[in-house]
Structures are given as C-alpha cells and as structure tokens.
Amino acid sequence: MQKRVFQLNPLSCPTCAKKIETVLLKVDGVESAEVSFTSSKVNVAFEDTVDVTVLIDRIHRLGYRVLESKKA
Amino acid sequence: MKKQDLPMIVSGLLLGSAWLLDAMGMPSLSDGSLASAALIALLPIGRKALGALQFRMASIELLVTIAVVGALFLGEYSEAAIVSFLFLFGAFLESRTIRKTRSAMESLIKLAPSSAVVLRDGRRETVDILDLLEGDIVEVRTGQRIPVDGVIVHGSATIDQSQITGESMPSEKIIGENVFASTILQNGYVEIATKKVGESTVFGNILKRLEEAQDKKAQTQRVIEKFANWYTPSVVVLSIVTFLISKDIRLALTLLVIACPGAMVISIPVAIVAGIGTMAKHGILVKGGESIEKLAKINAIAFDKTGTLTIGKPKVSMIHPVDGDESSILDYASIAEHGSSHALAKAILAKAEELGIKPSYIASNLDVLAGYGVVASGEFGKVTVGNLRLAKQTETEFPIDQLESYSALTQTYPTCVFVLLNGTMLGYLILSDTLRDDAREALVSLRKLGVKEIHVITGDSAASATQTLGPLGIDTIHADILPQEKAEIIQRLKKEKKVAMVGDGINDTLALNESDAGIAMSSDASEVAMKTADIVILGERVESVATAMRIARFTSSVLKQNIVISIGTVFFLIFGVLVGKVHMDTGMLVHEASVLAVILNALRILRKK
C-alpha cells in the first residue's frame, strides 16, 4: 500500500475535484482518492501494483496538470 | 495574461467585432465572426468535455458543448457565441476571485522560509529547507525568519513568536533555549542546532491542521452537494422531456445551459475557506467547516477558570502585617525564597521586586520542606516562610488558638503564606490567581454576541473562586469540581443550551469533547490541544474567544445567504426558461453572475475583525 499527494494547478470548481476522484477510483488497485478543492491537492492511496505514472496520466487526460508528486 | 486565457480573449474580441460589423450593416460577416467566436471558445470547453467523456462521465462542459453546438446548427450564432464566451469568462473571473478567498491562508504558508543558511565545515551555504538534517547549524540574522525548530547554540536574540504562541510581546532568547520555525528574529544573531524541519515543525503542524480544516465538510455543505448531485441530472431529464413534449429544441438547449450547479457547489466552500483563513490571521485555528457552524450556534459558554479567565499563575494580592510592616515581611520572605523556582516563591520575589525591596541578608542555611515551605537561617536569625501547617509546627510565640482562626481564612484564600522571624509572626501574604486583563471586556463582547449564560467550572472553593471572579459578573460558578466531573456539568448544560467549553486543552479533554464546541486556549500549539478541541486559540487573549465567535457567526450567515442566492437563482432561471422569458445567453449571464455573487459575498468575511 502506498500513499501519494499530487499538487495540482489551483482548481476553480468543486465539480473538478469530484471528476478527478471518480477517474482515479476507477483504476484497479486504487483504494481511496480524495481531492481537496481548497488546497488543490489529491490524496491517493493504492496497491503497490499500481503505476503512479498511470494515475498522473489520467489526471492529465482530464485536462488538469500535476505540478508535484510527493510520497505521503 | 496566461496562455490558457487566450481562447477567451480571442473569442471576446471576435464577439465585439461581430457587433461592430452588424452595426455597419454587414450581417453575414458578423455571423461569421460570431460563429468563429463560439468555435474558438469551444476549444477548451470541448477538450474538458471529451476528457471526462473518455472516462464515461458527463460534465458541465459537455452540457455547454451540446448546447453551443446545437445553437450553431440552429443558426443562433449570437447565442452560441455569447454562451460559450460567458462560460469561459465566468470561469476566469471565478478562479481569480476564489484565489482571493484563499489569500488569507496563503499568506500564512509563505511565513515559513524555504531556504536556510547552514554552517558546514566552517563555511556558509544556502540550502533548501528539505535538505537540512537534524543537528545542522543554521544561522539567522536580524529581520529574518527562523527556518527550523531547534535550540540556540550560539548568540542571543529578541524573537517575535506571535505566529506560534500568540504572544504579542517579543521574547529574549539565549543559548540553550528553543526557537521555532516561522518566528521572526527582530534583533540579534543566533546559530541554531536543527531539531525539526518542514512539516514536522510546530508551525508545519499548524499549517497541516489548517489545510485539513479546509476540506472538512460542513453539515450544510453535504446537504447542498447532495442536492447538486441530484439537480444536474434532473435538469437534463427535464430538458429532454421538454423537448419531447414541445418539440422546441431551443428551449431544451437553454435548460441544458442553466443546468450547471456552479453557484451551489461553490457557495459553501468559498465561505468556509474565507472563514478559516480569517480566523487563522487572528491566531485562531479551527478544525473545519463543521466547527464553524457549531460555534456560530453557541449560546452558553463554560470556562475552566485557571488559565483561561485567569492567568493561571499566582500573584501576591494582599499583604497582612501582624507584627511587622509590609516591607519587612517581603524582605524576610525574599531572603528565604531567594533563588527558588517554585511558583509561589517566584510570585513573592516578583512582588518584592515590584516594590523595590531587595533581600537585606543572604541566608547561610536553607531548608526546603516540600509541601510546607522553607526555613532559612543566617546572621538575621531564623525565618520560616510557609503554609498554615508549617506555621503550626514552628515554635511560635503566636497564640496557637489564633492561628487556628486562620483555618477559616484559608477557606477563602487557599494560598496563604505565613512569614515568621524567630518565632514571631511578622504577617502573612495572600496569593491568588489573577484575572487576565481582557477577561472583563471579552465577556461583555460575548454577551453582545448573544451568549445567554456564562459558567465557570473550577476545582477551587466557592469562596476563593468568587473572590477572584467577582468583577466579571459570571452567571454560575461551579466550584469544588473534580476534573472528571467537568464533563458531567457540560452534559447537564447541553440539555438546554448549545454549550462551548473553554479550557487549556490538556486537563479538560473530556469536557472539551462533551461540549458542542470545544475551545482550547493554548500558548504552545500542543498537538493534544489541537486534537481534542474544535477551535484552538494561540496565545493568551480571552478576547479571541469572542473574535472566533464573531467570525463564525458572520461566516455562517454568509453561508446561508449564499445558499439562498444560488438556489434562488436556479429556480428563478428554470421558471424563466419554462415561461419563455429567459434565453440561452441571458441564462448563462445570470448563472455566471450568481457564481460571482457568492464568491464576492464570501470575500466580505476576510475583512471581519
């Protein structure tokens, strides 16, 4: 089990946060995904089998940029 | 200007030129300009819509895209252009104003320096905070912020610690003393051995808590989000049904445009963020939106006396001479207490210093009797300074039966220190906890805010508590209370009122938990206090309790106004569209205006004091 925090560009609507959560949760092995609208951070917990770049790529494809990825 | 704003700007310019062309009597060129304005604005909107669609999610952008494309096919170029431009322009204004609601918080985060000057192998190096190791020696000069939590190993300085302790008076720090990240070195030079950096510092903990607080959803917020989740799909269904019945595609598309729940979902978070940030600026840390709502509803407050309304440290409040005068009593008392770090000794020495009395002898022999007092002897004879028990044991010329009458005295004044010289009672000192300077005003402010009942819970005797708290006009003093009984009292009060408990956060955990809103006053931002309380007040001002409540009340009313604005707008729009009074472009305008209105409304909280 791993945990990561992604810092995004400032989110401008709470619905964006919801979208990102939904997309990440659809990945196999992702245990939890919480997007903080106010701090524009994503907290995600996932099995070791999951490739972090896949998660980042999904966020990118939704149209949001990951500025920083930190282990938590 | 940023690259991402380009489509909005181009689309806006095309929209403007379309109106000019139309005015000059060139309708076909004007239509072309409008259509290109719509298409350019659709680029970023459509991209987001497709992005979400890949994951089988219908987004707001998708609804707008459908509506705009539909309008283009119907030849409604002007509506298509206005709707798509307004959507982008609205988002642009929203992100700028939302940034302002976050500004209070961001200015706090900037307080922590990101680099430090470290001394390694006799050389100075500027390094990133995260590259510092425990034990690294960092230097800090006048005017700089301290980058780490650590201990001074060289130099001394005056440090403004208000960020951490809430204490507005700067304090002098010397070798061996602890200093904290984010505090300001006002004057001096120090070298600090690093203990903690970044997120593990006290300041890092405060920030972490604030960040978490922003995302703790308020009760109202959950209700509204449920409503929004239900609202968007139902408007989409409504628009399909409308189309099937009326065969009016324009009407159906207009309903799609106004289906965005923008104002609704944003109305509460913006108010909460502004509220949390504003409180933080005043040294008040709040656990989250829910805590703000709870605090706003409070109409009774219970204070744990010691350390909240009072300073929590004894002071000499009265000197009663028996066979001596005030100055000789203090003189002999300070001979005996000289150099002691006991709280009562410190209070006595402070009083002597205040009156300009210096001990006239130095004791050659000191005998400290823990729990009783101290006996000092020297060329002056023998001085006994202590409580009633010690006074009784001492061979004294003072009639023992009269001494007995002091038992009654100690009921009212629990801390009575007797001073005897060679068995003669010189007199006694009464020490009591003193009220904080701002306690009185704070209670007045709280009453003005609508607090109906003010209670004090204390372990002291009723007489003693009444004596100290007299000037405050407390409604009920619960005296002789054991720590474990505090929570029971709160439980009882809760039956009739919404009760906040104010304590120091360490001894009052249960009572803080039991109360509707637990408020911890703490000068050291200890983690314990932060975990148990809804609100932590850094520093020692009781007035902050009133400030917290004032901001909470205001935030809560802004929140309610925002709900009315956003939901009102939605119903107004649906009604307007169905009766044919609101068209696609005005619908989008009103919708975006309502989003801005709730954000601007939340910004008012930032100015609250």
Task: Please identify which residue in the block is written with the tokens 């690093």.
Answer: B194
More confident residue, B598 or B114: B598
B602 in a domain, yes or no? no
Distance separating alpha carbons of residues B277 and B293, to the nearest angstrom: 15
Helical spans, DSSP H, in B282-325: 289-296
Contact assignment for B262 to A34 by CB distance below 8 Å: no
Q: What is the pLDDT of residue B167?
A: 66
Highest mean pLDDT among B291-300, B385-394, B414-423, B428-437: B291-300
Instruction: Decide if B459 touches A, using CB distance below 8 A.
Output: no
Mean pLDDT of B581-587: 87
Q: What is the pLDDT of residue B337?
A: 85
Q: Which of B47, B215, B272 sits opposite A36 (nearest CB)?
A: B215
Mean pLDDT of B269-275: 88
Identify the CATH number of the domain in which residue B160 sits. 2.70.150.10
Task: Please identify which residue in the block is written with the tokens 């609101």.
Answer: B582
The nearest alpha carbon in chain A to B99 belongs to A10
DSSP character at residue B515: S
Instruction: Decide if A71 touches B, using CB distance below 8 A.
Output: no
CB-count burial class (<10 Å; 0-12, 13-18, 19+) for B593: middle
A38, amino acid identity: T
Is pLDDT above 60 for B540? yes
Instruction: Decide if B245 touches A, using CB distance below 8 A.
Output: no
Contact assignment for B95 to A63 by CB distance below 8 Å: no
Q: What is the pLDDT of residue B150?
A: 92
Distance separating alpha carbons of residues B509 and B481, to the nearest angstrom: 15
Backbone angles phi, psi at B304, to 5 degrees: -85, 120
For residue B558, name the pLDDT band (cuts at 50, 70, 90): very high
Distance separating alpha carbons of residues B404 and B400, to the nearest angstrom: 6
Distance separating alpha carbons of residues B13 and B18, to the nearest angstrom: 9
Is the reported ipTM for this assembly greater than 0.90?
no
Is pLDDT above 70 for B505? no
Same domain, B90 and B138: no
B223 in a domain, yes or no? no
**0.90 surpassed by pTM:** no
Is pLDDT above 70 for A14? no
Contact, B302 vs B500, CB < 8 A? Answer: yes
Identify the CATH number of the domain in which residue B349 sits. 3.40.1110.10
Least Cα separation, residue B41 to chain A (angstroms): 16
Same domain, B409 and B347: yes
| Domain count across chain B | 3
Contact assignment for A12 to B98 by CB distance below 8 Å: yes
Contact assignment for A13 to B91 by CB distance below 8 Å: yes
Of B308, B277, B301, nearest to B551 (Cα)?
Answer: B277
Q: What is the pLDDT of residue B342?
A: 75
Burial B273-296 (b: 16+ CB within 10 A, else e): bbbbbbbbbbbbbbbbbbbbbbbb
Q: What is the pLDDT of residue B605?
A: 93
- Tell me how far CA of residue B254 lies from CA of A53, B49, B106, B291, B587, in angstroms: 40, 18, 39, 40, 7
> Which of the residue ranges B202-211, B241-250, B580-589, B598-607 would you say has the lowest mean pLDDT?
B202-211
Task: Please identify which residue in the block is written with the tokens 């989000």.
Answer: B225
DSSP character at residue A47: -
Reported as half-sphere exposure (CB side, CA atoms, 13 A), residue B178 has a value of 10
For residue B138, name the pLDDT band (cuts at 50, 70, 90): very high
Backbone angles phi, psi at B137, to 5 degrees: -95, 120
Is pLDDT above 80 for B169? no
B459 in a domain, yes or no? no
Helix (H) or strand (E) holding B155: strand B149-160
Same domain, B333 and B397: yes
Distance separating alpha carbons of residues B147 and B153, to the nearest angstrom: 15
Instruction: Decide if A70 touches B, using CB distance below 8 A.
Output: no
The nearest alpha carbon in chain B to A25 belongs to B55
Contact, B129 vs B198, CB < 8 A? Answer: yes
State pLDDT tens for residues B507-534.
677 888 889 999 988 765 556 656 778 8
| Tokens coding B16 | 């403007």
Interface with A, mutate which of B48, B55, B221 (most A CBs under 10 A): B55
State pLDDT tens for residues A3-13.
898 988 877 66
Q: Which of B80, B101, B122 is the last residue of a domain?
A: B101
B304 tagged catalytic: yes
Least Cα separation, residue A52 to chain B (angstroms): 18
- What percent of chain B has pLDDT above 90? 23
For residue B452, name the pLDDT band (cuts at 50, 70, 90): very high
Is pLDDT above 90 for B321? no
Q: Which of A34, A38, A61 sits opposite B273 (nearest CB)?
A: A38
Q: Which of B155, B185, B200 is the last residue of a domain?
A: B200
Q: What is the pLDDT of residue B186?
A: 86
- What percent of chain A has pLDDT above 70? 96
B558 in a domain, yes or no? no
Same domain, B120 and B96: no
- From chain A residues 23-42, the ones with a CB under 8 A of any chain B CB are 23, 26, 34, 36-39, 41
Q: Which residues of B touch A33 (CB under 8 A)?
A: none
| CB-based contacts of B221, cutoff 8 Å, min separation 6 | B268, B269, B272, B289
State pLDDT tens for residues B333-388.
888 888 777 778 888 888 888 888 888 888 788 888 777 788 888 888 888 888 77
Q: Which of A12, A37, A63 sits opposite B51 (nearest CB)?
A: A63
Domain interval for residue B142: 113-200
State pLDDT tens for residues B176-190.
888 988 888 888 899
DSSP character at residue B150: E
CB-count burial class (<10 Å; 0-12, 13-18, 19+) for B114: exposed
Same domain, B72 and B126: no
Instruction: Decide if A22 touches B, using CB distance below 8 A.
Output: yes
B236 in a domain, yes or no? no
For residue A46, name the pLDDT band (cuts at 50, 70, 90): very high
Instruction: Decide if A15 touches B, using CB distance below 8 A.
Output: yes
Distance separating alpha carbons of residues B79 and B524, to the nearest angstrom: 59
More confident residue, B569 or B359: B569
Instruction: Decide if B58 touches A, using CB distance below 8 A.
Output: no
Same domain, B120 and B176: yes
B245 in a domain, yes or no? no
Least Cα separation, residue A48 to chain B (angstroms): 23
For residue B499, name the pLDDT band (cuts at 50, 70, 90): very high
Contact assignment for B91 to A12 by CB distance below 8 Å: yes
What beta strand segments (E) does B444-534 contain? 453-457, 476-478, 499-503, 517-522
Handedness of CA B410, B415, B419, B423 (dihedral sign): positive
Distance separating alpha carbons of residues B186 and B193, to the nearest angstrom: 19
State pLDDT tens for residues B33-58.
999 999 999 999 898 888 888 887 77
Is pLDDT above 60 for B438? yes
User: What residue ranges do the domains of chain A occupy?
Assistant: 2-71
- Tell me how far CA of residue B92 lies from CA of A11, B88, B325, B498, in angstroms: 11, 6, 77, 42
Residues in chain A: 72
Handedness of CA B591, B592, B595, B601 (dihedral sign): negative
Q: Which residues of B touch A39 (CB under 8 A)?
A: 211, 214-215
Of A11, A3, A35, A62, nearest to B50 (Cα)?
Answer: A62
| Tokens coding B336 | 């005996």
Angle in degrees, 0-180, between the axes of helices B262-281 and B543-578, rounded to the nearest 10:
170
Contact, A33 vs A25, CB < 8 A? Answer: yes
State pLDDT tens for residues B202-228.
888 878 777 777 777 777 777 877 777
Mean pLDDT (chain B) is 84
Please spell the DSSP secondary structure of B62-131, one letter per residue: HHHHHHHHHHHHTT-HHHHHHHHHHHHHHHHHHHHHHHHHTHHHHHHHTTS-SEEEEEETTEEEEEEGGG
B586 in a domain, yes or no? no
CATH no. for A2-71: 3.30.70.100
Least Cα separation, residue B164 to chain A (angstroms): 22
Instruction: Decide if A14 touches B, using CB distance below 8 A.
Output: yes
Is pLDDT above 80 for B541? yes
Contact assignment for A37 to B269 by CB distance below 8 Å: yes
Q: What is the pLDDT of residue B397?
A: 57
B145 in a domain, yes or no? yes
Same domain, B315 and B429: yes
Q: What is the pLDDT of residue B604?
A: 94
Q: What is the pLDDT of residue B445?
A: 93
Reported as half-sphere exposure (CB side, CA atoms, 13 A), residue B20 has a value of 7
> Which of the residue ranges B22-26, B199-203, B209-213, B394-398 would you say has the lowest mean pLDDT?
B394-398
Helix (H) or strand (E) holding B268: helix B262-281
State pLDDT tens for residues B464-483.
788 778 778 888 889 888 77
For residue B412, name the pLDDT band (cuts at 50, 70, 90): low
Is pLDDT above 80 for A35? yes
Q: Which of A10, A23, A38 sits opposite B269 (nearest CB)?
A: A38
> Which of the residue ranges B62-71, B384-393, B441-450 would you say has the lowest mean pLDDT?
B384-393
Q: What is the pLDDT of residue B513?
A: 83
State pLDDT tens for residues A58-69.
898 888 889 888
Q: What is the pLDDT of residue B398?
A: 58
Other beta carbons less than 10 A from residue B574's beta carbon:
18
